[in-house]
Amino acid sequence: MKRLRALAGAVVLVGLASAGQASAGDSAELAVDQSRVRLKTGPAIEVKGVRLEESRTVGRVLQSDEKTETIEIEGEAVRIAKPGIYLAGVVESSDEESLTLRIDAKERPVLVPRDAIRSFDVSRGKHSHPFKGIATGLVFGAAAGAAVGFLSGDDPRGFGSFNARTKAAFWATSLGAVGTMAGLVLGGIPSESWEPAPRRLQLAVVPQRRGARVAFSVAF
């Protein structure tokens, strides 16, 4: 039993050490207030005895919208993220148990327990991608044009008739040019870029009557 406890302590220390090394980078990514983030919640959320599930809520609901529910907890109105949704906002505050996001200017901030987060992305700002748009538009336009030309087949013989290859080349050039212009316009519109936040792997040995089991957990 002493050996088992020693092993448990050693594994826990290793897990904490690796988590500590990762958390230095994570804190820069996750715990900085005023960062814009996007997250997805799990199928159930618990906050101080109140449980939210995708099908029902256990607690007194004061207000509800598409992505949040405002619930009375210990005499106060607390706005909580719903289960199974994507939520984007600015981090107002964070601690070891939860994040508080500002998702709109007029409403109260939203509480998100850390153990309910299933994915977590950090915004890298808005950027335009004109060259990517040009390349995408050209490829899809030319491919569509070539397909139209080939599928139309050869024209009957006569003046002004064209074979399928000639028509494919014509339509590929024409629609490729149209796609290029559309890609330039759409690619020039700034869009928000997101980067997945790193995760920390934590280990622990849980003693049991017959031996022990190793428990793994992933944290943001």
- At 17-57, the pLDDT tens digits run 343 433 333 433 444 556 888 999 999 988 888 888 877 77
62 and 104 together in one domain: yes
58, 103: one domain: yes
Q: Is the pLDDT of residue 125 over 50?
A: yes
In which band, very low, low, confident or very high, does the pLDDT at 111 lie, cut at 50, 70 and 90?
A: very high
Residue 48: phi and psi, rounded to 5, are 50, 50
| 96 shares its domain with 52 | yes
Is the dihedral angle over the CA atoms 13, 16, 22, 27 positive or is it negative?
negative
Cα 128 to Cα 192: distance, rounded to the nearest angstrom: 9
Q: Are residues 167 and 108 in the same domain?
A: no
Local confidence band at 193 (pLDDT 50, 70, 90 cut-offs):
confident
In this predicted model, what pLDDT tens digit does every residue of 57-76 receive, in sequence order?
777 888 888 888 898 888 88
75 and 168 belong to one structural domain: no
Greater confidence (94 vs 80) lies with 80
Rounded distance between C-alpha atoms, residue 146 and residue 171, angstroms: 6
DSSP 49-92: TEEEESS-EES-EEEE-SSEEEEEETTEEEEEEPTT-EEEEEEE
The answer to pTM > 0.95 is: no
Mean pLDDT of the 116-133 span: 85
Mean pLDDT confidence for 192-220: 60
Can you tell me the mean pLDDT for 104-108? Answer: 82
Query: Does 115 lie in the same domain as 134?
Result: no
Residues 158 and 50 in one domain: no
8 A C-beta contact, residue 11 and residue 19: no
Is 48 found in the same domain as 86?
yes
Residue 124: burial class (beta carbons within 10 Å; 0-12, 13-18, 19+): exposed
Domain that holds residue 165: 130-187
| Distance between CA atoms of residues 189 and 186, nearest Å | 6
Both ends of the chain: CA-CA distance in Å?
Answer: 33
109 and 158 part of one domain: no
Looking at the structure of the chain, the number of domains it has is: 2
Same domain, residue pair 178 and 212: no
pLDDT at res. 52: 85
